Amino acid sequence: LTAAEMNAHNTFENPDVVRPKTFTDFKLDNNSIEINLPPKSVVVLELTGKYELPPALDIKNPKPGINFGYYEGQWDRIPGFESLPAKRTGVVDTIVLPAENSGENFGVQYKGYIKIPADGLYTFYLNSDDGSDLCLDRKVLVDNDGGHAPQEQSGTIMLKAGFHEIKVGFF
């Protein structure tokens, strides 16, 4: 449904002010869909077909905690942490700001595995002041990159029960 004005409504005199319209502004690409919603609209999409969930990883004897690398530098986008020398590394219980940090101009990358309890649709959120991203199974799921005030971004994905590789970076 769409109309030119936010407060538009149908009347007996003008029954077609708000009316259904065919929606075609979407793009399918592999296992994702990109949708451009028109302003002042309600869009219903019906997706049919079969979706094969990517398999979970077979992790033998997982250890608790998540690995981290702490980096110092000045960036306006998330750097390629793998190509930078870490000031320190370790294992922590949760993804939080390191207690010992330079206060400015630092970044952290966390890498490990997350155990998904059941097949299903999952949403992940990142809230950061400046850039952050979350990769799941080596694909960016949440992109909250760039210099900005605190803001939250999210990403939704279908996952199979079991272990999945997770990587979270921020600066």
Per-residue pLDDT of the chain (171 residues), as tens digits, is: 888 888 999 999 999 888 888 888 998 887 678 898 888 888 888 888 887 888 999 999 999 999 999 999 999 999 999 999 999 999 999 998 878 887 889 999 999 999 999 999 999 999 999 999 999 999 999 999 999 999 999 999 999 999 999 999 999
User: 3-state SS string over 39-54?
Assistant: CCECCCCCCCCCCCCC
Q: Rounded to 10 degrees, what is the CA torsion of 69, 70, 71, 72?
A: 180
Cα 51 to chain center, whole Å?
A: 20
| Count of Cβ atoms closer than 10 Å to residue 161 Cβ | 13
Give buried/exposed letters for 17-53 (b at 16+ CB in 10 A, else e).
ebeeeebeeeeeeeeeeeeeeeeeeeeeeeeeeeeee
**DSSP assignment of 76-111:** SS---GGGS--SEEEEESS----SS--SSSEEEEEE
